[in-house]
Structure 1
Amino acid sequence: MDSKDLRMSVRSLLAAMLLGVLVAAPAGAQQQSESYKFLQAVKDAKGNEVTEMLGRPGSNIINTRDPSTGEGALHTVIKRGDETYLRFLLQKGADPNLRDGRGNTPLLLVVTTGQTDMIGILAAAKANANIANSAGETPLIRAVQRRDITMVRELLAAGADPDQGDLLAGMSARDYATQDPRNAAIAKVLADTPKKTRKAVSGPKL
């Protein structure tokens, strides 16, 4: 094969590779575009658009996360205090335990933003009250730090563990309440809450 034929072969190969990339790209690009449009529609509270997108056959965008923040649709509606949208998305199959880029679940975000009424909504959707963020903070630890006794009671009712420690100080919600003199009422509530029985991790059976 002379140099001219070699160049032509290389060009043909490159053209074929480029064509393959162009053919394959639309599917991924389309999914990315749909995900972006969905999150934007949720942010803009465009109910008809959100409903239409979620109603498409084979749609799997309900738990789409923003690539820059890791936030999903639930995080967005919680931030704006939209209980109606929260219920709607949960009914459509949104993951109540979806974590953002910092590990914050919807339940932890609800506590952070002080929206007590949403705790029950998420708990009814099987939200795990003991999933911590990347710092090991649980919703109950955050509620104790906010000195919000109503939230503390709601979280305990949802199964929160008062003795689960964080990663920064290794302290639990019970510990934080006990050491803060302003948290006497919460400390009393937690003192009356029995320790949870944790299952021992058993080794392999021989």
Structure 2
Amino acid sequence: MTQTLPISWWDRAWHVAAYAALIAATGSAAVLLVTGNLDTGRSLWPDPNDFQVVGVWRMAAVLAHTAGSGVGHVCAVLAGLLAARWTRLKAGRTGVVTALGAGAGLGLVDLVSASWTATPLLRELASSPALMNSDGMVVIDPDLQHHGSVLAGMVLVFVAILIAAGLGFTVAHVRPLSKLVLILVSLALIPIAHFLVPVVLVSPSP
């Protein structure tokens, strides 16, 4: 049986403060990057025709609702490393559960913060002349239940952040060469999971 040892008050306070800083960084990045992501999504189709206006809105929506996810990804890797240190004296699967829980917390903070900031901007965009059809009719319902591709992009980002936290935890327990491979894999996930795949999900949407 593996013996567990008590964690000092200082260690407990330090770990909590470090995780709180990661939460703050993720939430702040999400809020600050919404506008830039919104503009990026719109710029991918600079002159949409009537059949593309919904796609333009969805492109902007998926990037806005997942704003800051790249920062969240990096913070999740750090949270995984933090979880490994926090649970180094604990037994069983506590470390994995802690790392995934930390990643889930960061993922929720990122998506909630981004969505809270993006929702009013996207509603305004949906009713703007730029996204009306040639007859001047509003063609977009900004309620996300009608835009499954946007929700799929959000789920993808959340899962990627969970994976990043798991990779961070794993990095703390493997040999140096394996550490390098895992870090490179994690870094490769940033553009793939947080930009390229959401764009692919949305692009075919009418």
- The structure in which a higher percent of residues are helix is 2
TM-score normalized by structure 2?
0.23
TM-score normalized by structure 1?
0.23
